[in-house]
A and B are shown apart, each in its own frame.
Chain A
């Protein structure tokens, strides 16, 4: 069973703080993703990564950066947290090899971040 874990379920930070959200997957997946999930807006892609040290911007990268130093770990960084970054953050991973289910993304449980 694929397991995607996120370091925190709930996080409360102050405006201007630097925030790290960690995601780890245990299935040797090449591709990893960070989304934010907001009511009425659905899931929006922030960043994704095809491989170690590789990253690409998603649809809403402003205010965020990412780090992928090891294959299993993908970190989302809020350089200076703002109240409009209060949201649910979901990490996902995917196997980048040919298989019938190869385009399934496996999601973590989410981190609910509140910025005050």
Chain B
């Protein structure tokens, strides 16, 4: 069965500390993975997708097919990074996204 697991409900760090939000997936097909972010009082929006191999707001995520992971990383957290982060898996040849349960990142000053 397709599944996305985000093991941490809450991750708290101090400003300037490295951040890693974990995401593991279970899927027999070719995975396409995304990170979505929801800042306080804002709508959910795409942060990055693995196909683009880009860095957005200092965040990167590498797809590791061997470990079936797509962890989100940032070397130096900022207070404005505080938000809810969702990892999502697209089911191949459909529009369906399977979301994880989300991780709330709190960055303290």
Contact = CB atoms under 8 A, between A and B. Distances in A.
A43 B99 contact: yes
A24 B46 CA distance: 19
Interface string A84-116: 000000101010100011011111111000000
Contact of A31 (B44, B95, B101): B95
Contacts of A107: 43-45
B43 A44 contact: no
B71 interface: no
B95 A104 contact: no
A96 B96 CA distance: 13
Q: Chain B interface residue count: which class?
A: 10 to 19
B34 to A, nearest CB: 8
Contacts of A42: 6, 86, 99-102
A52 interface: no
* A: interface residue count bin: 20 to 34
Contacts of A4: 43
Contacts of A110: 43
A30 to B, nearest CB: 9
Interface string B73-96: 000000000000010001000011
B9 interface: yes
Contacts of A105: 46, 97
Q: Count chain A CB atoms within 10 A of each CB in B34, B44, B90, B101 and give the residue with the most.
A: B44
Contact of B99 (A44, A101, A103, A108): A44
A101 B86 CA distance: 18
Contacts of A101: 46
15 contacts: A31-B95, A40-B9, A41-B101, A42-B6, A43-B44, A43-B86, A43-B97, A44-B99, A48-B95, A58-B96, A94-B95, A96-B95, A101-B46, A103-B34, A107-B45
Interface of B: 6, 9, 32, 34, 43-46, 49, 52, 86, 90, 95-97, 99-102
